Amino acid sequence: MQALRMLLRTWRGGQLNLMIWSLVLAVAVVTSVSLLAERIERALTAESSSFLAADLVVRSSKSIDPEWIARAQNQQVQSAQVLTFASMVYHQEDMHLASIKAVESNYPLKGLLRRTTTPFTTDPSLIEEIDYGPAQGEVWVDGRLLPLLNIELGDEIELGEIRLKATQIVVEEPDSGGSYGAFGARVLMNVSDIEAAGIIVPGSRVTYRYLMAEGASGSDGFTNYSEWIKTQLDVHDRLITPDEAQASIANTMDKGRRFLLLAGSIGVVLAGIALALASHHFASGQTQQVALLKSWGIAANRVRSLYIQQSLWLGVGGSIVGLLVGFGFSELLIAVVREWLPISLPMAGARPWITGLATGLLCLAGFTLPALWHLPAQSPLAVLRQDVQVKPVSSAVRGLFGVAAVAGLLFWYSNNIYLSLAILAGFAVTALATIVIGLMLLRVAKTYGQKLGSIWRLASSNLWRRRSQSIIQMIGFSGAIALLMIMTVVRTSLIDEWRWQLADDAPNHFLLNVAPYELDGVRNLVTEQKLETAGWYSMVRGRLTQINGQGITEEQRDKHESFRRELNLSWTAELPEGNKLTAGKWWDELDLSGDIAPVSLEEELAGELGLSIGDQLTFSVGGLIFKARVTSTRSLNWDNMTPNFYFLFPEGMLENYPRTNMTSLYIPPQQKLLVNDLLRKYPTVQVIELDKIIDRIRTIVSQVTSGLEVMTLLILSCGVLVMFAAVSLSMSERLQESAILRTLGSSRRLILGIQWVEFSVLGIMAGLLAAIGAEAAVALLQRFMFDLPFSWHPWLWLVGPLAGGLLVGVLGVGYSRKAVTQPPLQVLNSL
Amino acid sequence: MIEVSNISKQVTTTEGTLTILDGINLSLAAGETLAIVGPSGSGKSTLLGILAGLDTPSSGTVSLNGKDITRMDEEGRAAVRAETVGFVFQSFHLLPGLTALENVALPLELKGDNEALKTAAYYLQRVGLDHRTSHYPRQLSGGEQQRVAVARAFACRPMILFADEPTGNLDTGTGEKINDLLFELNKEEGTTLVLVTHEHNLAARCGQRLVIAAGQQVDEGSAA
């Protein structure tokens, strides 16, 4: 308890503030992001316990074999069919491309549906949990469909040929795994209405799910049945177990959580630097106290134990406050990104809190303990002689401990040694670049400062003399400012740049799922409006089943999505516009008469799938098998918004398989009603409105980056702490200089002026470094994420240095104002 | 109480070996007072450090309360300091974040004294600072700060009190008051007092005087 008492007294004396805040911020940054990630993950995983709405599911692209259902009935196993597809729904003039789910009345077999009659409510007392789906003639709809179609519960909506009454709002489905990413509002209907609606035609993009659960025959009966089902599956079917469903969500979320934590680690590194500086400063203030304790006969071991205990109390206390601040920030983050999150987020488990606490304690071990380690070795003789002072652990060794702590934390967050090392190397390169450029800037400032007035001369030589502190402050601020600028650029301009690079008349609508017998009608409708399409393409959906005679392995399926899903196969005589042959030969140079069809692959996909020219592929289209040989690879232009295909065949090869047609076209806003006419006449046609999708992406990106900006504010606070800690180190020197200057007759204005120039110049340099960093990061994002040509962001180069100069100037002068306000005599006496 | 036999102290510098103390002997019984006097740089503070067990001599022996501290390691000397010794310093050495009361109580608390605050309050009252217990060092004058330091030293009830130029940082009037306090408490508590000073007045009040010049013990007359 003595250690705690000593710590509390030291804290009361204000000597621990910087250390505590550094610790609090490091813990808060990590806790806030890991709480957010954990709560979203829990929301998704909680659902996955009943995620399948069954014990076992077969997902297929073809309709369920009636024999399966008959056998399930015979063997007293529960079963149900679920169909999902996109289709337009209407109410008078309003329409929406809804995400339709047709279920049998015994759906869900496992888990519960949650429904309400109060739109957008989160009040549990208004939400009903039930284990059956809508009756024939009824639909239960997503709350957001009501405003979209301008309807109320009780109104009828049109779906294909029929009208269905919207009677309930569906709040949650047990198996709505995809709902968070779905663009269309959910419409839940009874499967027996499907036929009358006439919305499913051969070739329609429908996902069939066959749900199975234990019935009257018990677990043995179910096991027998599921073993039998496994023997019935073909390449179009995929068996999904609850474990698998959970594993896939857990895997995705785990990646997300790691990404957020690694982003947060920038804050931890900055807070760590601040903590190391503050601890070093604290330790230098403790040497006299330790000498005194030892002169009283307190043994070195007892001193060490006292300081370790104090550090532990500090670590635990600071971490607890950090956890609370982190919780507050996670609530703020959730509020910002509310719209695209699941309605209710469960509370987090222990993991984020443990991660936060571990961060605090590891920071303490890496940054504070090394700074205090030498204290017990202080000689008691120091109470009599100032020259007898113990040497602190060398900065190199302390630096190593810090790096080890950061490495440990990175590994904890990422659970991947290579990723941790790569990020560590990234930090090191960034720091090195900051040091080199920072030193060059300081040198330039010193050279030119000498030629200016006395204020500039003194300020620039101060900056140079204390260059290691100046550089540390630059690292702290430039890192934080750069992050903030990157977020802002992404949120405000990158998405716009991406949109603007499209030509004004670039296609803004895709028409999909046009059946062969509808093609002429749709074509005429478009021509009547004097609109031009980017050309019509036919496509057949098929699955890749073999490569060079070898079946697709589990490993390959795990590796690439294209091995798991149906692929769109198309054909053309000419190389489409925007396509370039990168290897092999086009049809005109090939002999097309053989049994094996030639196929041209998109270059990147071929690389990802490990396919090269000459490889023989086997496809299954609705159970019909055919073979093809890779004869060429192509590069595509994705920016022209015309249909692009990964797999292209020559004409005459696929025409006999069930097919649908697609095109893209530009519909001017004044002719938008065409979409209405088209969909009324051809309800199975799918229209993708790119404008709306781009807007939706923009909203999501904007919200995510706003959320990240909240986090960046925390990181900026870490940068501020680095500065305060660095200024604290030189505070007594600053006080002494200022006192001497004032004793020599310098005015307060001069001293204040020196401080203003010193800190503002430092801030301008940090802002400049931040602009360099932000521009480089944005260039990488443009190149690799948005596929945009490089463009300058001149405002970064203006706002960065200006904001940096102002921020660092105000904070620095504010923090070191003591140097001006304290009477010189008092300062000199205390030295 | 203190037996010193032929101690010397040498240090190695870049210019060779430097003798700071050479052949010092003294003997001081319990309750007696000793002033170590001499010009600046004569080795007074070094001697005080060795006597108090803060430093070790290069040769010779020092026993405190019958224990030869020169044969002990730092841990052993620390144990002897803990049970035998108290200090008053020229620059007070109060902890700035602690109140006067806490400064006095700290060494007692570290010794596990449950009555630390009570004892501290008593000694602050003894030095006339009972109205300043909750003040921080920066809120006290130099004389008051040294009085807190004196209270802290006596609160631990040491057998021997070492004072290094206790009034060196104070004006004459205040210094006199501190001296009075030291001797008064010394008498009341029966402490053995060893002080280093420049001041003849103060030295004159001590029962014994040890005069040092250039590290060597000299006759009182020749040092003046």
Using one digit for the tens of pLDDT, what is the confidence trace for A425-434?
888 888 898 8
Query: Under the phi-then-psi rule, with left for phi > 0, alpha for psi from -120 to 50, and beta for the rest, what region is A330?
Result: alpha
B141 CA to chain A: closest CA distance, Å?
Answer: 13
Cβ within 8 Å, pair A295-B52: yes
Tell me the H-state helices in A660-785. 673-681, 690-729, 731-743, 748-784
Backbone angles phi, psi at A171, to 5 degrees: -90, -40
Q: What's residue A563's pLDDT?
A: 82
Q: What's residue A786's pLDDT?
A: 65
Which of A9, A289, A383 shows the shortest C-beta gap to B102?
A9
Measured between beta carbons, the chain B residues lying within 8 angstroms of A379 are: 54
Q: What's residue A183's pLDDT?
A: 55
How would you class B161 by CB atoms within 10 Å of its CB: exposed for 0-12, middle for 13-18, buried for 19 or more?
A: buried
Q: What's residue A307's pLDDT?
A: 93
Q: What's residue A243's pLDDT?
A: 66
Residue whose C-alpha is closest to residue A441's, from A113, A810, A761: A761
The pLDDT of residue A772 is above 80: yes
Which of A9, A13, A297 shows the shortest C-beta gap to B81?
A297
Cβ within 8 Å, pair A292-B93: yes
The pLDDT of residue A382 is above 50: yes
Q: What's residue A497's pLDDT?
A: 67
Cβ count within 10 A of residue A177: 16
Among the residue ranges A447-451, A530-534, A659-663, A710-714, the one predicted with the least confidence is A710-714
Of the two residues A640 and B69, the one the predictor is more confident about is B69
Cβ within 8 Å, pair A299-B52: no
Q: What's residue A179's pLDDT?
A: 38
Q: What's residue A372's pLDDT?
A: 92
Query: DSSP assignment, residue A650?
Result: -
Q: Give CA separation, B35 vs A130, B19, B161, in Å.
A: 95, 22, 12
Cβ within 8 Å, pair B80-A293: no
Q: For residues A117-131, give the mean pLDDT.
A: 81
Which of B45, B87, B96 shows the shortest C-beta gap to A295?
B87
The pLDDT of residue A533 is above 50: yes
Using CB atoms and an 8 Å cut-off, which of residues 146-205 of chain B contact chain A? 156, 164
Cβ within 8 Å, pair B110-A293: yes
What is the overall mean pLDDT for chain A? Answer: 83
- The C-alpha R_g of chain B, in whole angstroms, comes to 17
Query: DSSP assignment, residue A533?
Result: B
Cβ within 8 Å, pair A2-B109: yes
Q: For residues A12-23, give the mean pLDDT.
A: 87
d(CA A490, CA A487): 5
pLDDT confidence tier of residue A530, bands split at 50, 70 and 90: confident
Low-confidence residues of chain B: pLDDT under 70: 220-224
Using CB atoms and an 8 Å cut-off, which of residues 89-148 of chain B contact chain A? 89, 93, 95-98, 102, 107, 109-110
d(CA B11, CA A730): 33
Smallest CA–CA distance from A302 into chain B, residue = B110
Cβ within 8 Å, pair A293-B85: no
Q: What's residue A68's pLDDT?
A: 92
- Counted residue by residue, chain A has a size of 831
pLDDT confidence tier of residue A309, bands split at 50, 70 and 90: very high
- Counted residue by residue, chain B has a size of 224
Q: For residues A408-420, give the mean pLDDT.
A: 82
Give the predicted TM-score (pTM) of the model.
0.69
Which of A5, A296, A385 shows the shortest C-beta gap to B81?
A296
- The DSSP element (H or E) to which B21 belongs, if any, is strand B16-28
pLDDT tens digits along A450-483:
888 778 888 888 888 888 888 888 888 888 888 8
d(CA A806, CA A343): 41
Q: Would you say A375 and A287 are in contact if contact means Cβ atoms under 8 Å apart?
A: yes
User: Domains in chain B, ordered, with CATH?
Assistant: 2-223 (3.40.50.300)
Q: What's residue A177's pLDDT?
A: 46
A378 CA to chain B: closest CA distance, Å?
Answer: 11
The pLDDT of residue A823 is above 60: yes
Chain pair A-B, CB pairs under 8 angstroms: 66
Backbone angles phi, psi at B167, to 5 degrees: -115, 10
Compute the CA torsion angle B183, B188, B192, B198 (nearest 10 deg): -10
pLDDT confidence tier of residue A181, bands split at 50, 70 and 90: very low
Q: Does A752 touch chain B (CB under 8 A)?
A: no
Q: What's residue A182's pLDDT?
A: 43
Q: What's residue A155's pLDDT?
A: 93
pLDDT confidence tier of residue A180, bands split at 50, 70 and 90: very low
Which of B48, B79, B110 shows the shortest C-beta gap to A384?
B48
Q: What's residue A165's pLDDT?
A: 95
pLDDT confidence tier of residue A498, bands split at 50, 70 and 90: low
Cβ within 8 Å, pair B74-A300: yes
Q: For residues A268-285, give the mean pLDDT.
A: 88
Smallest CA–CA distance from A11 into chain B, residue = B97
d(CA B57, CA B6): 10
